[in-house]
Structures are given as C-alpha cells and as structure tokens.
Structure 1
Amino acid sequence: MTRTPEEISHNLLDAARKAGAEAADAIVLDGSSVSVEVRGGALEHAERSEGTDLGLRVFLGKRQAIVSSSDSRPETLTAMAQRAVAMANEAPEDPFTGLATPDQLAKDWDIAALEQFDPTPEPSADTLLQDALAAEAAAFAIEGVSQVSDAAAAYGTHRVHLAATNGFSGGYSRSSRSTSCVAISGQGTGMERDYDGDSRTFQSDLRSPDEIGRSAGERAVALIGAQKPATGTFPVLFDERISSSLIGHLLAASNGAAIARGASWLKDNLGEQVLPEHLSLIEDPHRPRISGSRPFDAEGLPTQRRAVVENGVLTGWTLDLASARKLGMASTGNAARGVSGPPSPSNWNLSLTQGTHSRDDLLRDMGTGLLVTSMIGSTINPNTGDYSRGASGFWVENGEITHPVNECTIAGNLRDMLKRIIPANDARTYLSRVVPSILIEGMTLAGT
C-alpha cells in the first residue's frame, strides 16, 4: 500500500521516539518529472523519473543529527532513526539548535489561495515533444542561426510534507511546466550563443514555444561580430534578464547565517541606507502561481510579507531559528532545507520598486556605455563587497546600440553600486524575483 508523504513523515517521528530521540522533525519530498530534448528535428533524449526522499533530524538535548534516504520501507525508517540517534550521541552540542516552540508555529493557511498546483491533466510525452520541436523550428527559422544546441520541454510535480514532535504537520504540492531553447549563430570561432525559456506553475500561463524559439534565435544572431569594448569608466545597464543577480548579492549579504559568521559587507549596516531612498525591496511569499510562494517555512513557522529594504533603508536580516538565536533576534520565517541538511535562511519572492522610465529611456540617457545581457564567472568579496564579473552584451553610443561586445569585465563595489542604481519599468511580474533593468553609472570596464 502506497503511503502519502504525510504518513511517512509521521512514521519517521514514531521511529525516532522509539529510538530514544528527545525531539525530531521529518521532511518528505515526493515528486515526478518528464522531460524531452530534441536535436535536428528528432528526439534526442527523453526521461521520466519518480522518487521519494526522506530526511530525519533528531535532537538529544542540544545535540542534533540528520539522516536521509530514498527508501520508505518500515524497516528503513527504523534503521534511519536508530542511526540518527547514535550519531546525535556523538555530536557536539550546539546551543542554538532546536525546534520551534508551539506558539511560534503556523496555525492556519490557505493552500488553495497560493495556486501552486495546476489541476489540468499532465501533458503527454508527445505534447512535450511537439513543443520542443516547435521551439527548435522557430529558432532555425531566424536567418543566421546555424545550430540549435538544445530545445527542451518538461513537466514536473512536487509534494512536500513537514512534521515535528512540537506538533507541527503541514504540506503542499507544486506543479511546473517549462520550455526552453538555446540557439547558436555564426560559424567556427565566430559562433555566438543565446537562449530563451519560460517556466510556469500553470500550463495556460506558459509562453508559446514558437515565441521562445524565435526569441532565442534573434538573440543569438544579434551577437554576431561581437568585439571587446574599450577600457575605462562607463555607465552600465544591466538587462532585466540578469539584473536580479545584483539584488541577489544584497540578499546574500543580509542573510542571517552570513551575519552570524561576521562574513558580510552589510554586517554593520542594519538600519542604514543601502539603496536609493525611493526604492524598496519587498518579500512576499504569498503571491499566487509563483514558484517561490509557500505558506510556512522549513521549521513550520508562518511566512510573511516584509520589507527587506524600505525606502532605501535595510530593515533587518533574513533569519531562520538558529541564526536568529545567535543574533538575539526572532526568526523571519525564512528557513529552507533539503532532506540531508539542517535548515538555513533563504529568501522567497522578491520585488524591487520599478522605475518610471523604459529601458530605451535609460539607454538614451546613458549616452556611451555598456548594455549587459549575459554574465559569466564571479569574484565577489563577501567581506568588502568588491565586485568583478565577466560580461557580454552591446555597446551603446549616443544612446543607441551600435554593436555586440564580449570578453570584458565589469567591476565596482556593491556598497557603492547599489546606492546608485536607476531602475527601469520592464520587470516581468510573474517571476519569483521581480527586478527591472538597472542602470549604474561610473563602473570600471576592462576590455581592449
């Protein structure tokens, strides 16, 4: 008889108690996926997978241990619990570990309001194949595309259930549907590559494969003839496709685990200005149909809408229970975890205040500089915020794109860069991170 993730999680807790655990939590992830890839108008690869992964964390006083498995048979659950308790007996004490108290736990939530699961039937493998073929054909239809290295379509479902001896028990299901395409233009050493793709919770929201393939092809062709730009100090416009990486660096620096270690260039900036004063960065884990939404975190605490940055001012850290205890604060309900490790702080859905001007307006206003559409590599000093990344994109003269560029490096300091950002109004509001194109003046550019 097949057991649900909820039943397996409670079976794990029962096994932990019998093995001698003083407290425990269990997380069960159950999912299935099907994907297809095509090449040259024919099926290249097809895969279907199903599986259940289990994680058990046990506590003996202030000692904890974690074990995981993909086998949910009763004898395996018993062995997992016994092994975890034996490991906890040998583990060092951690004064900050432990489950949430009952008064901290999420009590009520509306799963249906989050719209995390598409009730329409699972697409057939042939439907996915036709989508991938359509994306590939649309890319090849663009003059100048020499190859399509990858065109793919996929569907997946995911169920999670968390239960703990403090009384918490909750779970939810997700679905995802995606199409992607990678196109190549040119020949030999002059080849250029670009992509497009879309991933949504609901099939009906997904962009068409024709649009995705055509966009990938057009982007690849636009890069033909790329050359190194000049070296100097110029304004840099981060395209909306990659601008969220800048906000990602701010989030990493305001993560409670980094703050507790003292390894963050923001550690002394709580309550201070980190963005222009008219900008806010809002976290909202309750947005319908968005992949980062969830009713509770990985420790059973309720998730909440909060301002990470409000009117330019950093309002607080992103905290799970352990990092909050280390800092003498309260958890923000941001714990995330897999089956084989302890919880750690993580952000959910983020939205940066959008600007009032279009990307074209910012291009016009920047005069001469670089429009970045792709980035590679990363050298970020977590203690100082010094920033250096490889980039490619397009050179701008007198407010207009003149030619593609590659093999250059952009550098600056995140503390200064983020205070000078100028956002456009072109963010895609259906993404988990809603960040528009961002202009930063006076960055160091190393090219020829």
Structure 2
Amino acid sequence: MPPSIETLLAAIGERRARVGIIGLGYVGLPLALAMCRAGFPVLGFDIDERRVALLNRGESGIEHIPAEPIREALAAGRFEATADFARLGEADAVLVCVPTPLTRQREPDLSYVVASTRVIAAALRPGQLVVLESTTWPGTTLEVVKPILEATGLLSGRDVFLAFSPEREDPGNADFGTRDIPKIVGGDGEAALALADALYGAAMARTVPVASPSVAEAVKLTENIFRSVNIALVNELKVIYEAMGIDVWEVIEAAKTKPFGFMPFYPGPGLGGHCIPIDPFYLTWKAREFDIATRFIELAGEINTAMPRHVVDRLAEALDLRFRRGLNGARILVVGIAYKKNVEDTRESASFRLIELLEGRGARADFHDPHVAVIPKTREHPTLAGRRSAALEPERVAGYDAVLVATDHDAVDYRALALHARLAIDTRNVFARAGADMTRVVKA
C-alpha cells in the first residue's frame, strides 16, 4: 500500500482526520452530524452563503433535523460551515453530497458533480480521500470524477484515493437515521476501499464493502428501481381494481398477512422525492450505451407518471356524479404539497403536477400543508412559487367543491376534514385509517 494510506488510516482511527462535506442539505447535513458524533472535525461546504450563516449560528433550516446536534458540534469545535471552497485542501477526506437531477429530456444532469469535482481538483493534495455520495449511473466515479482529479497530475490509488458510497437517507424516518443504515462502499483500488471503509466504519453501525465504485453505484440504482417498479405495479392494480369495485388498500392489507413471498407497496398520486422519480432513468440512459432497452423500468415510469392525471380524472368524475358539475370553475384544496408525509421536502412532488392539471382544466386550486408555508422556487414548476398554505378552518374547507389529499401528514385532523369537506378525494387511504366518516370520501 502507498505510504500515505498508513498516515490517513491512523488519522481516521484517532479521529484526527478532518472531514470535508460538499452540500449541506438533506443528505450532507445528517452525514456531517454523524461524523461529528463519531468524533471527527467536520468542515462543511455549501454555495448558499445564507445557509452557511444559518448553520454557523446553530440553526438547522431543515424541519426534521434538530438544531441541538449542530449546536453541540459547534460548541465542541467539531463543526464549521463555509462557502470558501479554497479551503478544501484542509480536509483529509472530502465527501460529495450534491444533487443529480434530470434534464427536461430525462437525461442525467451531472453539472453539480462535475462542478464539485473541479473545485476539489483545484485544492487537491496528496493523501486525500475523495468520496462521491450522489446517486448516479454506474461508471460515473471512474469515468467522470477520476479523470478530472487525475488531470492535476495526482493519480488515484497512488497519490489520492477515490471511492463511491451512496447516500441512503430517508427524511423523516424515525426508525432509521444516518448512523443506523448500512453504508455501501466501493473504492478505486484496495487502498481507497480500506480508507473509505475505515472512515464510514467509524461513524456508521455497519459498512458493506463491494468490489468497485461501479458496483456501489449500481446498488443504489437497484434499490430505487425496485421501489419504482413495485409502486408502478400497485398503481396499475389500483386502476384495475377501481374498475372492478375492489378496494386496493384492503387487498394489500390482506395480502401482507402472508409471512413469506410478499412485500407490501402502496399506491399514490404519483412519485416524488429526490430518488425514485429520477434514479431509474440514470440506468436507462446508461443502458443505451450497451444497446439495451430498459423496458421494465420505462414502463414503470410511464405508469407512475400517469397517476396524477388518473387522480384528477377521478376527481372530475366524482364532481360530476355528486354535484353535476365539472372541474371548470371548481374550487379545489390540495392537502399536502410535500412529496412524503411529515417532512417539508417538496422535491419532485406529485402535488405540483396535480395543481397544474387541475388549473389546466379550469379549476382554482389552493393547498394546505402543515410543513410547507410557501411553495419554493423550482425549475419545473416556476408558476407555483410563492403560493401560501391555506388554513384548514371548517368554514373555509366547506367552501371548496372538493378536498384532494395528496400527502398524508400526521398533523392533519382527517376526521374533521371528512366532516366539513363537501367531497374528499383520498389518494393515501388516510380517511379510512383515521376512522373518519367515509360518506363523502372517494378513493383515487
């Protein structure tokens, strides 16, 4: 092994190694706090100077991440946030946690990864470990990141060390935090794997070393494709069973009593979040290089993408049957703008598409979300930015022609909502679970 690996391994073992983390959002901040709790000094990097100032004041800015661990890390001298990327040379290990979105043509957008790698290269020094955590197609670490780093004259495996370890965050999950989730690690050579495994092993309950960065990248995509395909299956079953007058939720609850051979997945109004709507298409794009069609993945994408329109069609049918009116001019309240329950994260939320479809058919749509006061700016839905959450006052709810539940936040009183709504469209089975009066509830 190169001599520098022994120095860095010793620094990791003694908790002297300084960890730099690029991107202090939903992935980077929990990772930074996990490293701080393990005893490492952490230097966090973010291009948003307001976010840097917020963190250095001991504030989280992310609802499900409490401020106390940040304050403790600041008081112990283990954490500092900065927007000065020239300081990357101070870090012994640099972990990259930046977004990997899709373009409008559903192709991988690696601009954040490339930009981050270039700033790392500008400050790169011998003996550093660089780990990409951002979800991407198999081969990115070796085919995109490695050449940028090696253009400095420092070689991976000899002068610097390169690895991939996919993030596995589940915002708002009270049962599995960053430290509890096994960490997949793939290194560019034995030295890089040993270093990355030692670093994450010091902070996480368990590591899972694999043969290469490409294998680690494929693991992450496989996890999210598995979910996408199975969600598509139950969404398709929902449509079929609706036509037959069968409640798909009751079917799933009964099916999951089987102690083997079945895993429950649940339908919804469409996919949301930073993983499932995006990650499968990274593999689809890469597969074209090998002249392979990803038919299963693309079919799942088609089914899941069609769900918002299906929900709006069900709402229109219900309005016609109950009130003999259409969507044009109807007032609709969408409950839940976040992509999943009990968080404020709106990335890729299906609710945005629901609102656009409703308004495209002439309806007037408001939203209520106990975790999102104002819709943030997004590339895909710029016209929705700045809209504010409406109150769930009984008389106000009664003034809408229909209430559409898109996200089943626990903070909403669904019994009261069912009592006061003229019509409730339920995409999450939340009214039945809450024991609400189902007289005016339609599942969709």
Query: Normalized against structure 1, the TM-score is what?
Result: 0.22
Instruction: Give 1 or 2: higher helix fraction.
Output: 2
Select the structure with the greater relative contact order (CA < 8 A; seq sep ≥ 6): 1
Instruction: Give 1 or 2: higher strand fraction.
Output: 1
